[in-house]
Every structure is written in structure tokens, then in C-alpha cells.
């Protein structure tokens, strides 16, 4: 039985040695992995530093551009105010013209008959003027004819 005890202790010792060997092997792999992770973190930190510097530069440029746009936008405000005022003026002018047009149309509608009579009177006067001009021309031609006949007699 004593032999059995020694064999058991030997088996436990061998199992413990194997266990220690695997623990040491695992710890070496974990150590190697941690070294790789540490190296990766260092690389990421240096890359992140570059990215942060570029980001900071871009933020400064963006801020500068935003300020420039704001200043230029403020300079354009009076222009837009003027355009707005011009639009209102044109609208008021159009409304005035519309009122004047409606007034004229109303007066024309009220005085249609009078306007028609004036147009007829104008047509009659024009016709009389044309007839008078024709008669005057006929009279002048008659006088020329009479003068020419008188010359022939003399």
C-alpha cells in the first residue's frame, strides 16, 4: 500500500509539473499577446496624435471659414433689405397703376356715349376737311384753267 501511495504522489507530482508547464506556456503566450497589444496601442496612439492634429487644423480652418461667411453674410444684409424695399415699392406702384387703370376704365365706361359722339364728330370733321381740301384743289385747277384760256385768247 505504501507503494501505491508513492505512485499516487509521483502521479500527482507529474500532473503538477505538466500543469505548471501548461501554465508557463499559456503565460508566455499571454505575455506575447500583451506585448503585441502594447505595440498596437503605441502605434494607434501615434496615428491618433496625427489624426487629432489634422482634425484640430481642420476645425480651425472651418471656424475661420464660418467667421468669414458670417461677416460676408452680414455685409449682404443691407442688399437684401434694399431688394425687399424695392419689391415693396414695385408692388405699391403696381397697385397704384391698377387703381388708376380701374378709374380710367370706370370713367370710359361712364362716358362711352360721349366718347362715341366725339369720335363720330371727329370723323365728320375729318370728312369735311377732306371735302374742303378737294374743293379748294378743284377751285385752284379751275382758276389755272381759266388763266390758261385767257392767255390763249390774248
Asked whether the predicted pLDDT for residue 148 surpasses 90, the reply is no
Q: What is the pLDDT of residues 19-34, one digit of tens each?
A: 999 999 999 999 999 9
Distance CA 83, CA 9 (A): 103
Q: What was the pLDDT predicted at 22?
A: 94
Terminal-residue alpha carbon distance, the chain: 194
The answer for residues whose C-beta is within 8 angstroms of residue 108's C-beta and 6 or more apart is 115
Residue 147 has a pLDDT of 82
Burial 118-153 (b: 16+ CB within 10 A, else e): eeeeeeeeeeeeeeeeeeeeeeeeeeeeeeeeeeee
**pLDDT, tens only, 11-21:** 999 999 999 99
Q: Compute the radius of gyration of the chain from its Cα atoms.
A: 58
Per DSSP, 154 falls in state -
Q: Has residue 153 got a pLDDT over 80?
A: no
pLDDT at 26: 94
129: Cα separation from own chain's centroid = 64
**Cα gap 82→89, rounded to integer Å:** 10
pLDDT per position as a tens digit, 115-146: 888 888 889 899 889 999 999 898 898 888 88
Average pLDDT of the residues in 71-77: 89
The domain locations on the chain are: 2-80, 113-154
Give the mean model confidence (pLDDT) for residues 46-69: 92
Amino acid at each position: 500500500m505504501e507503494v501505491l501511495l508513492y505512485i499516487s504522489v509521483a502521479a500527482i507530482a507529474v500532473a503538477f509539473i505538466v500543469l505548471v508547464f501548461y501554465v508557463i506556456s499559456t503565460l508566455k503566450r499571454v505575455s506575447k499577446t500583451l506585448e503585441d497589444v502594447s505595440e498596437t496601442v503605441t502605434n494607434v496612439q501615434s496615428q491618433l496624435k496625427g489624426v487629432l492634429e489634422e482634425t484640430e487644423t481642420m476645425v480651425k480652418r472651418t471656424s475661420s471659414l464660418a467667421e468669414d461667411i458670417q461677416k460676408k453674410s452680414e455685409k449682404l444684409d443691407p442688399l437684401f433689405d434694399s431688394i425687399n424695399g424695392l419689391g415693396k415699392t414695385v408692388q405699391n406702384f403696381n397697385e397704384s397703376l391698377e387703381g388708376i387703370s380701374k378709374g380710367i376704365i370706370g370713367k370710359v365706361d361712364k362716358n362711352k356715349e360721349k366718347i362715341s359722339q366725339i369720335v363720330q364728330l371727329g370723323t365728320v370733321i375729318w370728312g369735311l376737311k377732306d371735302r374742303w381740301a378737294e374743293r379748294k384743289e378743284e377751285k385752284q385747277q379751275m382758276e389755272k384753267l381759266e388763266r390758261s384760256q385767257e392767255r390763249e385768247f390774248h
